[in-house]
Amino acid sequence: MTAAAWNHHDRRRELAGSSVIDELVASAVGHATTFEAPLRTPRPARRVAVVACMDARLDLFGILGLQPGDAHLIRNAGGVATDDVIRSLTISQRKLGTREIILVHHTDCGMLTFTEDDLRLELLEETGTKPSWAVETFTDLDLDVRSSVQRVRQSPFVPYRDHVRGFVYDVDTGALREIA
């Protein structure tokens, strides 16, 4: 969508007095009217967990050929294997039966555009407080994929570590390249 189209869409929403959340809630109401029998289990049918960046350009269902109910999708800024990702993977494997993990970073990632120190300083200046959490920016996609794979493989809390693989998705070509 072009900048002009975004501006037109935002202006229409302003005039209507609605927000994006209002539109999403209205969509959910429509969804409920055509909703078919729900999946009966929170356990992923394909027993896989996907860790990926939260970037809106990543359609993990389309990229990986997934359907609802196939996988646990765990997303954050950068797709980095943070402590919270390890927590989610631990629960995914120990309580919900997943056995494989795929990590997906991508080209043109926003986490490549600033540094940890820059954001921490910006937050300190604006709020008077530095966050207690690590920002986890990176300068090399391949290296960060390898690092995230290693974090998962080295975690004593994640019991099934034999099938952990990392990839970079190219947002320009749609290609998925294996790194580790």
Residues forming the annotated binding site for Zn(2+)? 53, 55, 106, 109
Tokens for 167, please give them. 């990839």
CA gap 72, 108 in Å, rounded: 24
Give alpha helix (H) positions in 20-178.
20-34, 60-64, 83-96, 116-127, 141-154
Q: Which residues are annotated as a binding site?
A: 53, 55, 106, 109
Say which residue the tokens 């409920």 belong to.
Answer: 32
Beta partners for residue 167, in sequence order = 104, 178
Write the DSSP symbol of residue 118: H
Residue 164 φ/ψ, nearest 5 degrees? -120, 120
118-to-75, 79, 112 alpha-carbon distances in Å: 23, 20, 12
CB-count exposure of residue 50 (10 Å: 0-12, 13-18, 19+): buried
